[in-house]
Structure 1
Amino acid sequence: MELGAFSLSDIFPDSPDTAASRIDDIVEYGILAERHGLDAYGIGEHHTRQFAVSSPAVVHAAIARATQRITLTTTASVLSVLDPVRVYQDFATLDQVSHGRAEIIAGRSAFAEPFALFGEDISQLDDLFAEKLDLLLRLREQKPVTWEGRFRPALHEAEVNPPTHGDLPVWVAVGGTPSSALRAGRLGVPMALGLIGGSIDHAKRLIDLYRSAGREAGHPDEQLKVGITSHFYVGETQEQALEELYPYYHRYLSPETNGGRGWDVERAQMDAMADRRGALMVGGPREVAAKILDLGSELGVDRFLG
């Protein structure tokens, strides 16, 4: 199993952090991740002032010049509101800068703000994502590419620059919706499952759906990779980790932080999610290591990002 870390680039309220200081931190985390032998490092993409990074490819380019080995991925690129040609070119450029280490995890977005910012209709979220994902995959597979859709001008024998070191890896981010897992399986692309609630048993149901759909579509098992991303905090002991994390976790999920969309998580709820079968990767080193090993032994997961 590959192991890695990721940052959503959130700026904690009432802290001295700025976008500039957070980006400095995020670049240093990527360098540190490679130094400690991790396999992949992810950066999230957001389009509000509560987050520091709106362009992961740009920040990853800084990390690329200070590293040699680690995979540079996204968690996740908000493909629903972006032009797939521009996304592909940005990461093809990162692929050249990093000598073949760029990767895209394409997602639909959990936030409404990007749709207004980029002039896309959020009521057509799923259709937008499906069409744009189709074009992104075509850009990778066809050179030159001819394509036609509803939401973007058609392409005819289009050359996309620059070239890449082999096929640019593209994963699909799935947040817990069965239809999203089925789509990823039918396409035969790796699935990055955001495990931020529920349990390992819930994740298993989605992974089984994904793999069944992939096999029915004729894709080989080795092509049907699964990654898990989860909130992650390790302390000296289980109790210390829970005690230290709770004020931050409560604030992170609260309606105050999320424009009225969040909820006030109770300490008992957080503790339950940190149990052996829960989604939250929080605890002492032994407890968290055991939970990550469960992902491999029970779910056959290929990658974990915390």
Structure 2
Amino acid sequence: MELGFLSLSDLQTSPDTGKPVTAAQRIADTIDYAVLGERLGLDVFALGEHHSLDFAVSSPAVVLAAIAARTSRIRLTSAVTVLSVLDPVRVHQDFATLDLVSNGRAEIIAGRSAFTEPFALFGERVDNYDALFTEKIGLLLRLRAEDHVTWSGTFRPPLRNAPIAPRALQDPLPVWAGVGGSPASAARAGILGLPMVLGYIGGPLSHAKQAVDIYREAGERAGHPEKLRVGISTHFYAGTEDVFPYYHEYLRPKKPGGRGFMVDRASFNAGTRRGQAIMVGSSEQITEKILDAYALLGINRFYGQFDWGGLPRTLVEQSLHRYAEEIAPAVRRAAT
């Protein structure tokens, strides 16, 4: 099993200092965390894409290229590329370039977006939510497979024997489907024969199994059993320090009617128990929960979302050390 870590680059007001972090500092810290993760032996670093003032990164490929220049081994992926609102040609160019810069370490996790802001920003209609993604993921897969493409669709101008450059070093450039739990999205990933990353941020592990089962059944019916791989991502902190104030800050709505929800301490504690999604606790507790997911879901890759809510850098780095030095060896021994 590959062990990864994931940042959404959320911009929070620190519960400790009362001061907001700047986008420049957040990106600098994110690059340093990725470099540290490689040094510690983790396998994959994933970076989110958002298009609002609440997050620092709107172009993961740019920041991942900066990380590529300071690393040599760790795989680098978006989490997720908001394909519904973007031009697949440009997405392919960006990540093929990242693949060349990183000497073959780039990946894409393509998703639809859990936010509505990007649709207005890029001139797309939210009521085309599913149709946009369906068309664009199909085109993206053509672009990675062919160096000249002729294509026509609804949401972008046609291509007529268009040269698709540059070509990625990897053949094919890895594309995963990012799924939030929708049965239709899980089935589509299976039908396309794409590996799937499931965002598992709440509820019992048995709920995640429903999406994974739908994915595998659809993929096997479509004739892709050898291509099916599953990853999960979830909120993560390795340590016994009290991080509830940061989790509360991360999820609470920042303005009246804004996105988010209030989490009380009792709900947070319940979510960290065995069989539930939140992976916050001692190294032994998290090891147990990752291996539970491995046993029930057959996961090939795990991502811990590790730096949310304004967690101080000291705590983030301590958590990464515990992940790499205590959890990862135990998981790898048991999951071979």
The answer for the alignment partner of 2:136 in structure 1 is 132
Q: 1:159 to 1:173 in 2, by over 3 A?
A: same
Name the Cα RMSD after superposition: 1.2
Q: Does residue 15 of structure 2 align to residue 11 of structure 1?
A: no
The answer for the alignment partner of 2:66 in structure 1 is 62
Q: Which amino acid aligns with 1:12?
A: Q
CA distance in structure 1 between the aligned counterparts of 2:177 and 2:299, rounded to whole angstroms = 15
Q: Does residue 309 of structure 2 align to residue 290 of structure 1?
A: no
Q: Does residue 18 of structure 2 align to residue 20 of structure 1?
A: no
CA distance in structure 2 between the aligned counterparts of 1:72 and 1:259, rounded to whole angstroms = 35
Q: Which amino acid aligns with 2:12?
A: F
* More RCO (CA 8 Å, sep 6+): 2
CA distance in structure 2 between the aligned counterparts of 1:259 and 1:28, rounded to whole angstroms = 34
Tell me the secondary structure at the aligned position of residue 66 of structure 1: coil
Q: Which amino acid aligns with 1:284?
A: S
The answer for the alignment partner of 1:247 in structure 2 is 245
Over the matched positions of the two proteins, sequence identity in percent amounts to 59
The answer for the alignment partner of 1:265 in structure 2 is 263
Tell me the secondary structure at the aligned position of residue 218 of structure 1: coil
Deviation at 1:258, TM superposition (A): 8.7
Q: Which amino acid aligns with 2:9?
A: S
The answer for the alignment partner of 1:86 in structure 2 is 90
The answer for the alignment partner of 1:176 in structure 2 is 181
- Contact 2:146–2:164, Cα closer than 8 Å, also in 1: no
CA distance in structure 1 between the aligned counterparts of 2:12 and 2:183, rounded to whole angstroms = 32
Count of residues paired in the alignment: 299
Deviation at 1:253, TM superposition (A): 1.5
The answer for the alignment partner of 1:277 in structure 2 is 275
Matches within 5 A, 1:1-306: 1-13=1-13, 14-165=18-169, 166-220=171-225, 222-235=226-239, 237=240, 240=241, 244-256=242-254, 260-306=258-304
Q: 1:297 to 1:263 in 2, by over 3 A?
A: same
* Cα-to-partner distance string for 1:111-141 (whole Å, 9 max, x where unaligned): 1111111111011111111111111111011
What residue ranges of structure 2 are gaps of 5+ in the alignment? 305-336
Return 79-88 or 265-274, whichever deviates more.
Answer: 265-274
* Cα-to-partner distance string for 1:169-216 (whole Å, 9 max, x where unaligned): 000100011100000000000001000111211111110110000000
Tell me the secondary structure at the aligned position of residue 120 of structure 2: helix
* Cα-to-partner distance string for 1:199-236 (whole Å, 9 max, x where unaligned): 2111111101100000000012x31000101110111x
What residue ranges of structure 1 are gaps of 5+ in the alignment? none
Deviation at 1:261, TM superposition (A): 2.6
Q: Which amino acid aligns with 1:35?
A: R
- TM-score, structure 1 normalization: 0.95
CA distance in structure 2 between the aligned counterparts of 1:267 and 1:26, rounded to whole angstroms = 28
CA distance in structure 2 between the aligned counterparts of 1:56 and 1:261, rounded to whole angstroms = 22
* Cα-to-partner distance string for 1:40-65 (whole Å, 9 max, x where unaligned): 00000011111111100000111101
Tell me the secondary structure at the aligned position of residue 9 of structure 2: coil
Tell me the secondary structure at the aligned position of residue 243 of structure 2: helix
- TM-score, structure 2 normalization: 0.87
Tell me the secondary structure at the aligned position of residue 106 of structure 1: strand
Tell me the secondary structure at the aligned position of residue 160 of structure 2: strand
Q: Which amino acid aligns with 1:217?
A: A
Tell me the secondary structure at the aligned position of residue 304 of structure 1: strand
